A = this chain, B = another copy of it.
């Protein structure tokens, strides 16, 4: 690890501290949704469709229901006939199945094993129907339509990850094209003609990315309990978005939001894949079953019917002047949405066109329906794919012009005041500072001096706009002199540890004197989903405001007790004292006790704040990878990895570095290992973690991921913080692919860069 800047203006913020949820997780004590004990609980298992598209001509649950221990087998006929406007409202197949993995029936039994056994006893007759399972099939003339009566629902969830998604259009007449988005500037046709006249370089290429699964280790797990008399539902669920779950479950069950209580449990990984999935179904099952119901997906269920990142095809044509000035980018991004819309073509297109000053742009993004499982958000949705495409292209432009790739990027990257692809100005950003920092880093010198055969270095940039959402928070002083902070956001990435630092900084307290609680929707200060890299940035702002309000309340009470003016007081080490009068002080515990006693004359220190920050703070990084390619096998080994990232302010450098390391590791999965493979019938060939290759510790360079923190403070984030979680996954595939090209001269056009694929390319090239 590199040392970081000294944040000497802060007492607490900027010093690395351990994540608070580490102990309970390491010790096996964290209570996940699957562990929630409810008296009389029923266990659920789902019967899944084996066909991509089929009519259900007969469905007999009699034998399954006769099995001892089975309480009920639920089919679509038992459920309200709700329009299946989104994946989580699809519930169970009614008449026909629309993808391999489409749930057909739900068994409720006294044990999970019994429910599993009962699946085999459900008799279903399927009549196979024509299906489209690839982008190309779906777009072919006369292709069967996935939604013959028009596409259902919208794209709320994709939007919840935070980029400006461009002008969206929904196709008017039924087709397999769901949405399209466009961005343009200047005149690309004229620009390419100009380059052809003037010399310079043009690169045109089509890039392919696979379906990649978020692969959280804890599967989706939900327990629901219905109180029929009160007309209320309680859910314990592994979600990143408890308020969204509440809203959707309430709507599906015909209840008011406040009649649904969602208690978010510890999340064993989400990465964008755990907004909502089975919760409405489980709530309905609990209502039907008359007892609490638990559904924990199996790993195979996860692969067959959750919501991984979509398959993509990205066509890019870009041109640069002889002097290395980027002149035009034309691109078309196609994403395979599967059954439901919401793929991140707009976000991907915006980023692909947005990193560089480029006078001529023409970007089209479209998403296509297929008879495949629906897709969802995965850490910076659309960005790793689009960034890999543009960073490969740009690298080749630089190479073609004989310009050093770092120099090329420094020449072209956007700065504050430049126009973004939507015609708005970029605010203060750290993209150039990241490149400059990398240029000064010893690794860059090593890269320039590299002479080892089959070894290459690759550079790529990437960034993320960051999500925004209003949030509230509560800060209160306890009788023991500690602070309690309450928020409505699930802690996925150590945010509760960071939020504690924010409040501790305001009070000048040791961080361990601040406890942070994620509360349920009933108790809750509101916060949006934990996604879009926005919790520290937005909820942190609410915590900062609440802590400052509580601090003012404290000074007001202390001022009366110490007979001083509030402005003459300071809080230090758990005491409020009069500045310059060291003996005149009272402990926070004493003051708190005076506000919590019979006949007390002072109000409790208890403050809330609500914030609606509407200013994005885009966060950029520059990554450098060193790889060796085995010419015999095509296998790529990552030898070194340096990630430079503008984090605005590293409130907890340990958490920030951890996020960067995790993001880079997932990026290595995109680059080298991960893909869900489907055959032509839409059958998944990689439905287990034996077949689906996650990056492992051995895939990380021996000395780990080197992180370098750049701090260009944002104007609105707490103490200058910027979004941190999503940016580090974005440049990785580009950096690795560029390193592979440097090592071999071969340009990968499909992810992952597998040994087989690269070996074939190497042999085709020689």
Of residues 585 through 606 on chain A, the ones whose CB sits less than 8 Å from some CB of chain B are 595-606
**A59 at the binding interface (Cβ < 8 Å):** no
Of residues 454 through 494 on chain A, the ones whose CB sits less than 8 Å from some CB of chain B are 467-472, 474, 476, 478-480, 482, 484, 486
Q: A602 and B470: CB pair below 8 A? A: yes
Q: A484 and B610: CB pair below 8 A? A: no
Q: Which of B24, B523, B605 contacts A610 (CB 8 A)?
A: B605
Q: A515 and B606: CB pair below 8 A? A: no
Q: What is the distance, in angstroms, from A241's C-beta to the closest C-beta of chain B?
A: 10
Q: A611 and B606: CB pair below 8 A? A: no
**A63 at the binding interface (Cβ < 8 Å):** no
Stretch at the interface among A105-113, A198-206, A250-258, A279-287: A250-258
Give the interface centre of A250, A470, A480, A486 by most chain B CB atoms within 10 Å.
Answer: A470
**A197 at the binding interface (Cβ < 8 Å):** no
Q: B517 and A523: CB pair below 8 A? A: yes
Q: What is the distance, in angstroms, from A504's C-beta to the closest C-beta of chain B?
A: 14
Q: Please give me the residue from chain B that is nearest to A468 by CB atom.
A: B599
Q: Which of B23, B482, B605, B608 contacts A474 (CB 8 A)?
A: B608
Q: B258 and A515: CB pair below 8 A? A: yes
**A142 at the binding interface (Cβ < 8 Å):** no
Given the known inter-chain contacts A478-B258, A603-B472, A610-B604, please indicate yes or no for A528 contacting B595, CB distance below 8 A.
no
Of residues 482 through 530 on chain A, the ones whose CB sits less than 8 Å from some CB of chain B are 482, 484, 486, 515, 517, 519, 522-526, 528-529
**A86 at the binding interface (Cβ < 8 Å):** no
Q: What is the distance, in angstroms, from A364's C-beta to the closest C-beta of chain B?
A: 24
Of residues 242 through 301 on chain A, the ones whose CB sits less than 8 Å from some CB of chain B are 243, 247, 250, 256-258
Q: Which of B250, B467, B468, B470 contacts A604 (CB 8 A)?
A: B470
Residues on B with beta carbons closer than 8 Å to the beta carbon of A479: 243, 247, 257
Give the interface centre of A468, A476, A526, A598 by most chain B CB atoms within 10 Å.
Answer: A598
**A424 at the binding interface (Cβ < 8 Å):** no
Q: A598 and B478: CB pair below 8 A? A: no
**A614 at the binding interface (Cβ < 8 Å):** yes
CA distance in complex: A515, B24 (Å): 34
Q: B596 and A612: CB pair below 8 A? A: no
**A581 at the binding interface (Cβ < 8 Å):** no
CA distance in complex: A480, B468 (Å): 22
Q: A596 and B525: CB pair below 8 A? A: no
**A448 at the binding interface (Cβ < 8 Å):** no
**A160 at the binding interface (Cβ < 8 Å):** yes
Q: Please give me the residue from chain B that is nearest to A520 by CB atom.
A: B523
Q: A243 and B482: CB pair below 8 A? A: no
Q: A470 and B596: CB pair below 8 A? A: yes
Q: B515 and A553: CB pair below 8 A? A: no
Q: A525 and B604: CB pair below 8 A? A: yes
Residues on B with beta carbons closer than 8 Å to the beta carbon of A451: none
CA distance in complex: A482, B250 (Å): 14
Q: B476 and A604: CB pair below 8 A? A: no
Residues on B with beta carbons closer than 8 Å to the beta carbon of A449: none
Q: B595 and A603: CB pair below 8 A? A: no
Q: Which of B524, B598, B606, B612 contacts A595 (CB 8 A)?
A: B612
Q: Please give me the residue from chain B that is nearest to A598 by CB atom.
A: B160
Give the interface centre of A156, A258, A532, A604 by most chain B CB atoms within 10 Å.
Answer: A604
**A607 at the binding interface (Cβ < 8 Å):** yes
**A39 at the binding interface (Cβ < 8 Å):** yes
**A440 at the binding interface (Cβ < 8 Å):** no
Q: B523 and A257: CB pair below 8 A? A: no
CA distance in complex: A607, B160 (Å): 26
Q: Please give me the residue from chain B that is nearest to A525 by CB atom.
A: B606
**A37 at the binding interface (Cβ < 8 Å):** yes
**A690 at the binding interface (Cβ < 8 Å):** no
Q: A603 and B470: CB pair below 8 A? A: yes
CA distance in complex: A524, B614 (Å): 30
Q: A523 and B515: CB pair below 8 A? A: no
Residues on B with beta carbons closer than 8 Å to the beta carbon of A764: none
Q: Please give me the residue from chain B that is nearest to A243 by CB atom.
A: B596
**A230 at the binding interface (Cβ < 8 Å):** yes
CA distance in complex: A439, B606 (Å): 48
Q: A472 and B37: CB pair below 8 A? A: no
CA distance in complex: A24, B480 (Å): 36
**A159 at the binding interface (Cβ < 8 Å):** yes
Q: Which of B162, B484, B603 contacts A612 (CB 8 A)?
A: B603
**A27 at the binding interface (Cβ < 8 Å):** yes
Cβ-closest 8 pairs across A and B: A603-B610, A472-B606, A608-B608, A257-B480, A256-B480, A526-B604, A603-B612, A470-B600
Q: 20 interchain pairs (CB within 8 A)?
A: A37-B39, A160-B598, A256-B482, A257-B478, A258-B478, A258-B482, A468-B600, A469-B597, A469-B598, A470-B600, A470-B602, A472-B476, A474-B608, A523-B523, A525-B604, A526-B606, A529-B598, A603-B612, A604-B610, A607-B608
Q: A472-B604, A523-B523, A526-B606 are in contact. List 15 more A-B contacts (CB 8 A).
A: A37-B37, A156-B598, A159-B599, A243-B479, A247-B479, A467-B599, A469-B597, A476-B525, A484-B522, A528-B597, A532-B598, A603-B612, A605-B610, A606-B610, A608-B608
